[in-house]
Amino acid sequence: MPVPQTAPELEYRIGCSTDTHAMKTSIAIYPGSFDPVTNGHLDLIGRGEKMFDLLIVAVLRNTEKQPLFTVPERVEMLRLVDYARKRHAGVILRGIRAVSDYEYELQMALMNRKLESRLETVFMLPGEPYSYLSSKLVREIAQHGAPLTDLVPPVVEQRLRAKVL
């Protein structure tokens, strides 16, 4: 079963760039747990919005992870492939930091393609300053009270500090 296989609890639509020189490829969905959102996620969103007519950032619940933010803070979910069909999305955008990410994401992409042959996965590398960054590391750093400067936006840092202290 591909992960994330559930549909978004929340979606955030980004009306993408009107730059006529930007490459466009219809509708893309960028799914993830975003628990919490990092500057690496924001980097991919910013670059992804230049590539697609519409980028939907879909916040998912991953049953294999213990989320920091509780279920009441999220909305009900659907299956991702069905969600992509309903939104007429032809692309799922995923970030890859390392070879280990690729192996995992490749399995997910191939299963999603099997479930919906018209659905393609586009892998993007994070910007160099974010190549090591993960939500899990950010949570661990926050739990130890270390600085989160340049890792997450200030509003996310405030919410993290409130959760872990």
- Active-site amino acid positions: 41, 65, 97, 135
CB atoms under 10 Å from CB of 164, counted, come to 14
The sheet carrying 10-15 orders its strands as: 10-15, 54-59, 27-32, 91-95, 120-124
> Is there a contact between 129 and 97 (Cβ–Cβ < 8 Å)?
no
